[in-house]
Chains A and B, each alone.
Chain A
Amino acid sequence: MIEISAISAFYGKHCALDGVSLTVQRGELVVILGANGAGKTTLLKAIGGLVPVAPGGRIAMAGKELTAVPAHDIVAAGVALVPEGRGIFGEMTVRENLLLGAYPARARKTEARNLELVLSLFPRLNERLRQTVRTMSGGEQQMVAIGRALMTAPDILLLDEPSLGLSPIMCKELFQSLGRIRDAGLGILLVEQNAKQSLKIADRGYLIESGRIVGAGTGAALSADPAVQRAYLGAG
């Protein structure tokens, strides 16, 4: 569905992303594991159009060219990013945040259905539609952030460390919700520090180190890989 081939990104002269290629299909949850500073966030930002892709790389969505396209057009093509730090409108209500998600033309026709999906995934938001997002807990804000992204009617959802700062219970609920979103037919590209839980629900995974993909495999295969266990699962 989304095809990323050989993309690189630079901050000044520093190469943060070095020829990364990967794909995500619809109905598939793909996780990217890597240490801090490995380039995970840069990768998602590059796909979302927030960081420019160096010449030579290519991003395409169902054959449609998305390289060097402004961020709002990438959303219009069906790729929604939930950035680290959530990317929500803190001064606005939950309802306004969700309404803004449905801003792209592609999202208008299915707005009611998407809202239903979001509220069934996160029933807590239903009681809080009039609450200002800034006053909510971290977990609830994350629900708003994912809800806002789902309201754009995406085919591919990019999530940057959604479990960051959440309590273990919230974390578990979050991963369950991600599984349900995948089962609804969306493709999910998930960047996570929480390797254990994310590999448990992931269909496939990639390992990233110093801006390069250094390994790939199914979720089960990666969980069983001794090198992965040492580096990310805290074993041995």
Chain B
Amino acid sequence: MTLTLDILLSGLVLGGMYALIAMGLTLQYGIARIMNLSYGEFLIAAAFGALFLFTGMAVNPILGLLLIVPASFAANWLLYRVVLTPLVKRAKNQGMLEVDSILGTFGVLFVIQGIMQVVFGGALQSYSYLSVPVRILGTTLAANRILALLFALVIGGLLYLLLTRTRFGTALRAIAVNPVAAQLSGIDIAAASGLAFAAGGAIVGAGGVLISMFLTFSAASGVIFTMKALIVVIMGGVGNMMGALVAGLLLGIAETAVARLVDPGLTIAVTYALFLGALLWRPTGLFGRPAR
């Protein structure tokens, strides 16, 4: 009983992080139509930012969000304007843009990773913030994990409200549904895509700060998060926020269960098994519609 609860709670925290970063990726991929392979590097850069602020300047990570999230927004906006906009302009179709953006952001991945290696070194990093146990329903969970989950819920919830309850958010979803009709409704797709891409960057920045509070990371860990976010996005259906939430939580709980009950080395295998299952059973994602 305690073990089940323990797995569920820990899985929920991990899954909440996956869901959050998947929401950011689905903004970048579903709306701005950029498959960003350097996505996880921004997460790690944000984690290093939080580490630096906490250990170097005694700024706690929650306050650090106020600095890092806008910085990540700006960096991603610049990446879109400077590196990706030329690719968007010259792409004759979606397939060409997909190939170009994958190759382009693959390069960006190594640039950011290289800079982080030089500045912070290659060692595993962590810091201790609020790592005090809290008793919940007979089991214990570190306070920093609970805080991270709470913030992930708040940020994810705000994003959901932005996308569904405001005209601008509706316009962003409209671009994902029908880009031509979006232009004909007077939506400036290039500008809106830049903002959607930047918003995705802000989300992954927040995810990086929250994850750094309880997980160890190194300059090379970015790709793991890109991969997991991508798997969650595909499982949940591209552009589908609810799908990202459910698939993210599912992945977090499944990974935690296997790590506790079988072997921690099997978590990656579980990730892929779930992914394969989803692809075979529902290729357009848990909440996706069949392709027309």
Q: Which residues of A contact B (CB under 8 A)?
A: 48-50, 70-72, 75-76, 80-83, 87-92, 96, 99-104, 107, 148-149, 152
Contacts and interface: CB of A to CB of B under 8 A. Distances in A.
A104 B184 contact: no
B178 A71 contact: no
B185 A148 contact: yes
Contacts of B167: 99-100, 102-103
A100 B174 contact: yes
Contacts, number: 69
Contacts of B170: 92, 96, 99-100
B175 to A, nearest CB: 10
Contacts of B188: 70, 72
B185 A152 contact: yes
Contact of A92 (B174, B183, B186, B189): B174
B273 interface: no
B177 A91 contact: yes
Interface string B167-206: 1001101100110111111111100000000000000000
A152 to B, nearest CB: 6
A89 B176 CA distance: 10
Q: How large is the interface on B (under 10, 10 to 19, 20 to 34, 35 or more residues)?
A: 10 to 19
Contact of B177 (A76, A90, A152): A90
Contact of A89 (B181, B183, B186, B189): B181
A77 to B, nearest CB: 10
Nearest to B180: A87
A149 B170 CA distance: 16
B180 A100 contact: no
Q: Which 8 A-B pairs have the closest CB atoms?
A: A104-B186, A75-B186, A71-B183, A87-B181, A89-B177, A100-B185, A72-B188, A72-B186
B171 A100 contact: yes
28 contacts: A50-B180, A50-B183, A50-B184, A72-B187, A72-B188, A75-B184, A75-B185, A82-B184, A83-B180, A87-B178, A88-B178, A89-B174, A91-B177, A92-B170, A92-B173, A99-B170, A100-B170, A100-B171, A100-B174, A100-B182, A100-B187, A102-B167, A103-B171, A103-B185, A103-B187, A104-B186, A148-B185, A152-B185
A65 B234 CA distance: 44
Contacts of A92: 170, 173-174, 177
Nearest to B181: A87
A149 B183 CA distance: 11
A149 B181 CA distance: 10
A213 to B, nearest CB: 25
A92 B178 CA distance: 10
A189 to B, nearest CB: 15
A42 to B, nearest CB: 15
A200 B178 CA distance: 34
A103 to B, nearest CB: 5
A152 B174 CA distance: 15
B181 A72 contact: no
Interface in B126-175: 167, 170-171, 173-174
Nearest to A77: B186
Nearest to B240: A91
Contacts of B185: 75, 100-101, 103-104, 148, 152
A84 to B, nearest CB: 11
Given A75-B184, A100-B170, A104-B186, 6 more contacts: A70-B183, A83-B184, A88-B178, A90-B177, A100-B171, A102-B167
A161 B184 CA distance: 17
B186 A88 contact: no
